[in-house]
Amino acid sequence: MNRRRMKGGLYLVVDPSKSEIELISALNSVLEEGVCAVQLWDHWDQVENPLALIEKVGKLCGTFDVPLFINNHPEWVEDCPSVSGIHFDEWPTDYACPEGVLVGITCTNEMEVIDRAEENSIDYISFCSMFPSSTSNSCEWVDHASVHRARERFSGLIFLAGGITPETLPQLQTLPYDGIAVVSGIMSSDSPSEAARIFNQKVKEHEN
């Protein structure tokens, strides 16, 4: 694993079932504001040609030197050269990560998952859900103490996700995180670029 390729900051999660034209336009405007990574969410039922869309998004991310992650489909990582990594919602079974591929995993309050992530040199963990959220309603709420314990046990990056808005983000100020993952708070905004700008400002305030 090459952790130098992964940075903290604003981690953008994108729903690929959205209109492709709107998706690409919004993504381009957000990338111009700056993100540390983009993930294509596991919502492919309405996408006619997933691999073609992945390549379009991957090439766009590549122009901004931003790594692209696929959610839960490791087979597509090998099929799409522009993909940098894989994000798992649950710990994978019988998966051997190819050399140089970045890997992240969703976690909750279970320290066993975090310990396994450390043992396997996973690049980052993403806590879900910090607040109630329509896009992460299958996640249990995360105890703030779990994030503190994870920082003591895990040497990779720690992201927070689930219901995070510019208004709720200050409530996480005391937590030892490296970045936040946002879905609808940016891509469903009337102005994705402005939303990204505000989130980036809040994250930088936490860093300082």
Q: Give the domains, in start order, of the chain with CATH numbers.
A: 3-207 (3.20.20.70)
Instruction: Enumerate the β-bridge partners of residue 131.
Output: none
Q: Is there a contact between 29 and 192 (Cβ–Cβ < 8 Å)?
A: yes
Collapse the DSSP code of 124 into the 3-class scheme (helix H, G, I; strand E, B; otherwise coil) and give the result.
strand
Backbone phi and psi for residue 111, each to the nearest 5 degrees, phi listed first: -70, -20
CA-to-CA separations, 42 to 6, 24, 89, 208, in angstroms, rounded: 21, 17, 10, 34
Say what the pLDDT of residue 171 is: 94
Specify the pLDDT at position 1.
Answer: 33
Predicted TM-score (pTM) of the model is 0.93
Radius of gyration for the alpha carbons in the chain, expressed in angstroms and rounded: 16
pLDDT tens by residue, the chain, 208 residues:
334 468 999 999 999 999 999 999 999 999 999 999 999 999 999 999 999 999 999 999 999 999 999 999 999 998 899 999 999 999 988 778 788 899 999 999 999 999 999 999 999 999 999 998 766 556 789 999 999 999 999 999 999 999 999 999 999 999 999 999 998 899 999 999 999 999 999 998 887 6
Indicate the SS3 state at residue 107: strand
Q: Among residues 30, 29, 73, which one has the least CA distance to residue 50?
A: 73
